[in-house]
A and B are shown apart, each in its own frame.
Chain A
Amino acid sequence: MSDMRAREDLAGLRSLGARSGPKAPPTMRGFLQRPWFIGLLALGLLLLVWQWISWVNLQVPGVGEIARFMFTEISGGSHGGALSGEFWAPLAVSLQRYAVGLAIGVPVGAVLGMVIGGVRWARGLFNDTVLVLLALPAVVWAFLASLWFGLSSWGPILAVVLTVVPFMAVNISAGVRNVDPGLAEMSRSFGVPFGRRLHHLLFGGSLPSAFTGLRLSFMTGWNSLLIVEWFGSTSGVGWRARFWYDALRYPGFVGWIFLFVILITLLDRLLLSPLERRAFQWNQRPTLAFAEEA
């Protein structure tokens, strides 16, 4: 009876999955609803609106003008006079600072978040400090970092760290606090050691919040970096954007702003999204996924 029941359970799940049947042939409507197509459409619309604005306001450079300028910048060609294109060097400097800042800020914020979320007295001690850090705008860090470190690379790096830490800490502490108390009770009743609880229960349970924190950290960290480079650096992407702004070459300034956006979007799509999909394999819809694996 019991074995039969088990087989029925399995068979039931499989048959539910099977009901979804073979994939239907793609329709025009389905094609139009695909994420990549919608993304392309949105980009096309944005460019069209931009071009229209450039026609009604001559101060705003057109899409073609920006593209030509950035091509010269990337290929190292001449912008006229003594000015020549410079792209890879500022980009490499900024990416290096960004990577170092994230490499310090993400783990520090994650550990701080775990402690704030898991230890009551630590919550009282650090919670307000983290909230203050979170409330401070990036431009404040930009000025402070410039004052402390002058024009060296440590200013932008520190700005990334100080921006990233509170975002990670707040999100991870919220994730730890939201872990089902029933699971903590189960772990205690079985005498699961602290290290294993930390890894499987707290880390696993706070992973969704950690990804939210990571995503916000990547974006705000990049913004901070660019602001510090704009105000207090002689190298990097932010510095280069300001260079063209000060030179009244708006296609260059706007082109670099577009590049900021493209870079952060690529980072999200190529690094975070695949990582997130992998980390959330467990959160798949029942029965259908079961049938696929069977």
Chain B
Amino acid sequence: MATVLIENLTKVYPPTLNNPTQVQALGGLSMSITGNVFVAVVGPSGSGKTTLLNIVAGVERATAGSVRALQEGVPARVGYVFQEPRLLPWRTVVDNMLYVQDRKSDRSRREAEFYLQMVGLSDVADLYPSQLSGGMQQRVGIARAFLVNPDVLLLDEPFSHLDALTGRSLRDYMQRIWLQTRKTALFVTHDVTEAVELADRIVMLRPGGTAYDDIAVDLPRPRRHDDPAVRDMQDEVLRRFDAMGAAVRFGAHA
């Protein structure tokens, strides 16, 4: 069982040529995730959502505080789905997947093809990313994250660059795969609709990177965006955001 423990996490970016003042992305955030749950972190721009994921993934270092992602006491294996697909353009789809995997064998290739099939891309293994649409590339990114059999799945607004229909389709894929694999997931988004559709729990961040609220989403799965219960929950989350008085208002879209 995976655990993510975040204690008093602070990240301050030093001044740069373009931005002469230091920027505080996270200001002492504490939260914990235990077990096979899907947790959404929602907040306006500048609340340190992506920074949080980068620190959990080990891509960035915290200024203060700590993050421990553990699986049975040892460091957890992380699978990361980024905002953009981040595929090597000069490698085929299947090679992009094998690039992040430990072993390279026929079995690995079969596993890669299995996850491609799960995201509805069984025919594209030997194509190059430039031959795929943006939505298809993002699905490869999702399949790649599951291929490494992660203990903790990190998702950084993976649907934000897609049109509404493609985004909804990908959320369906994500929900279906997650129901089959039940990985501990930390999902960053600014879209309340996505958060309610996918998460068991929504952690709301305020600008400056501190937690404001922690909402349980106790709805049956699989969920549909047009389910009245899902819509009611979205309204409830938005009401809480209004109460928080966030600088940026969030709009739910169908």
Contacts and interface: CB of A to CB of B under 8 A. Distances in A.
B63 interface: no
Contacts of A285: 130
Nearest to B141: A186
B131 interface: yes
Interface in A199-248: 200-201, 204-205, 207
Interface string B71-93: 00000011110101010111110
A32 interface: no
Given A2-B172, A189-B80, A9 B133 contact: yes
A128 interface: no
A276 B143 CA distance: 31
Interface in B145-183: 148, 154, 165-166, 169, 172-173, 176
A186 B80 contact: yes
Interface stretch (B3-11, B34-42, B120-128, B194-202): B120-128
A282 B93 CA distance: 11
Nearest to B150: A190
Interface of A: 1-3, 5-7, 9-10, 12-13, 180, 182-183, 185-192, 196, 200-201, 204-205, 207, 281-287, 289-290, 293
Of all A-B residue pairs in the complex, the 4 with the closest CB atoms, nearest first, are A6-B120, A190-B100, A189-B57, A282-B128
| A-side interface mostly | helix
Interface string B104-125: 0000000000000001110100
Interface size class of B (residues with CB under 8 A): 35 or more
18 contacts: A2-B120, A2-B172, A2-B173, A2-B176, A9-B136, A10-B123, A183-B86, A185-B59, A186-B82, A186-B86, A187-B99, A187-B100, A188-B58, A189-B54, A190-B80, A190-B100, A191-B77, A201-B88
A196 to B, nearest CB: 7
A248 to B, nearest CB: 54
Nearest to B176: A2
B120 A182 contact: no
B88 A183 contact: yes
Given A192-B99, A284-B130, A200 B88 contact: yes
A284 B128 contact: yes
Contacts of A283: 89-90, 130
Contacts of A191: 58, 77-78
A205 B90 CA distance: 8
A281 B119 CA distance: 25
Given A201-B88, A290-B131, A190 B120 contact: no
A289 B121 CA distance: 17
A13 B133 CA distance: 8
A287 B132 CA distance: 8
